[in-house]
Amino acid sequence: MKEADMVVVLRCLFLLLVLLQPLGNAAAYSEHSCNATIGNYTASDAFGANLARLTSELPVNASTSPSLYASAAVGISPDRAFGLALCRGDITDAETCSGCLGDAFQQLRKLCAGDRDATFYHDLCTVRYSAEDFPARPEDNSPVINALDVNGSTFVGWDSRNATSRDTFLSLVGALFGEMAIYGAYNSSVRRFASAVMYINPEMPLVYGLAQCTPDLSPGQCTHCFQGLEELNKQWYDGREGGRILGVRCNFRYEAYQFYDGTANVRIGLPGDSPPPTGSNHKKMLVIVLCVSITVFCIMLLGCLLLIIRRLRKGEIRLEPSRSRSVSKTEEALMLWKIEESSSEFTLYDFPELGAATDNFSQYNKLGIGGFGPVYKGILADGTEVAVKRLAAQSGQGLVEFKNEIQLIAKLQHTNLVKLLGCCVQEEEKMLVYEYMPNRSLDYFIFDQERGTLLDWKRRYHIIEGIAQGLLYLHKHSRVKIIHRDMKASNILLDKDLNPKISDFGMARIFGSNMTHANTNRIVGTYLSTKDASGARQSPTYKKRLHGT
């Protein structure tokens, strides 16, 4: 073997060894912040003594707590020392937690010697001490936890590797963080911690993530803290395969490899019986899967090409350039539409975004079936509750016509009309996103003996007046005159304060925009199989009248 060939072989072997190296051998990540603006101390003064006691007690208290968290205060003012200690939620060994916290406090007191306020972030734990009562801030009047305020010194860090598809990877990270935020805030009551893994397709890497709040925060406070991190993620993300945002009260991290222990709490796009590879075997599995995938893909591609060439020669198939041009024009129209609506309140949602919000349009989130398709409750990544109407493909409208109609409807703004927040268009799928009405519809109250008592005559008059104002706006004052033709109690939705809002006021226009005149003799109605968008059930007599049975 020639010398040059030997060098190439050795380099390949070295690269392979690096790829197969266990993840645990990587150097631990750490950041620290020293704040001298609130004073200094010495080891011999009162604050120094209180701090020494505090930093010796907190590692033990946190590591022995089920939440892996502890906060305390030692001494009396003005030399009182406040502290906080938190271990990562996937740690199962108390000794590991205690060791990380003890070492973090020890390093921090050396790095920030004499400063009365300091913070240390480690891969496995977070600690902070201060002369200010920072642990009490979340219990102030407002439930909002700002990531740039009480979250302490916030650090933003990114992996050096660029993602293959920046825009796609950004949407994946956003969806992943949204799911983790909901689980960590509301489903993980002890540790306020969530780990996640997301799979999209073989061409994209598995995305792993974790999100954690300090367990003393309420679900609402934790959610607001995560929202602060989400804004930072949008501001600083630059298309990398890994990154983290570290704060005292909440933190977030994602990577293209599994960096936490155990099985993910949140699994997106993965079958339940096929958990993702874990631990130090992940990179080995990644190399194997990559080699096998490339080989299979090449074989399939070669087979498809041979089959196409064979069928072309026999005349069984013909190329249709006109269809390709049509698809291209549709994609161009969608891209231009996104650019046009980027600065407005109307949002063009992605299909995966609405799929994640509705748990892939699960039956659990299904509110009902209207005349124009099913309606699902969804929770967006920022925590906003919405109603997603999945339109049946019956209008026959093209993209441009659909766009023009919903933009027109979206500009109808009135306090007694349900607000259209945005839409989603993907191939044959067309979806409308409305504001969510928590009190369902009017018939949910007036046709029920118990709930009907909640509507006294003052409220009923207020509802009647609101409906009249909404209809007056549609008939006279709006930029486009709309006749509802399906006014009924189930189409009057009620917000949290029982204010009435007319729904489905634009459906007839979107699906009948090519009509030149109105035919009011035709019976128009909405058939609901079980319940409408507000959850109200229809009577059997109404079903029979609609179907003529």
- For residue 96, give both structure tokens: 């590991």
In sequence order, what are the residues at sequence separation of 6 or more whose Cβ sits closer than 8 angstroms to the Cβ of residue 74? 50, 51, 53, 54, 57, 80, 81, 83
User: Is 81 in a helix, a strand, or coil?
Assistant: strand
Amino acid at 332: E
**Phi, psi (deg, nearest 5) at residue 9:** -60, -45
Whose CA is closest to 473, among 481, 462, 461? Answer: 481
In sequence order, what are the residues at sequence separation of 6 or more whose Cβ sits closer than 8 angstroms to the Cβ of residue 183? 194, 196, 265, 266
* CA–CA distance, 506 with 389 (Å, rounded to integer): 12
In sequence order, what are the residues at sequence separation of 6 or more whose Cβ sits closer than 8 angstroms to the Cβ of residue 476? none
**Under 8 Å between Cβ of 206 and 264:** no
* CA–CA distance, 465 with 22 (Å, rounded to integer): 69
* CA–CA distance, 524 with 372 (Å, rounded to integer): 12
Active site residue 486: yes
Strand partners, 122: 30
* CA–CA distance, 120 with 282 (Å, rounded to integer): 29
- C-alpha to C-alpha distances, 10 to 4, 7, 16, 17, 401, nearest whole angstrom: 10, 5, 10, 11, 62
Catalytic residue among 79, 103, 117, 486: 486
239: left (phi over 0), alpha (psi -120 to 50) or beta: left
* CA–CA distance, 330 with 324 (Å, rounded to integer): 10
**Under 8 Å between Cβ of 120 and 104:** yes
**Phi, psi (deg, nearest 5) at residue 160:** -80, -15
* CA–CA distance, 249 with 492 (Å, rounded to integer): 42
* CA–CA distance, 539 with 446 (Å, rounded to integer): 13
Show the beta-strand stretches assigned E in 135-206: 155-158, 193-198
**Under 8 Å between Cβ of 509 and 407:** no
* CA–CA distance, 409 with 418 (Å, rounded to integer): 11
**Under 8 Å between Cβ of 257 and 215:** no
Residues marked active site are found at 486
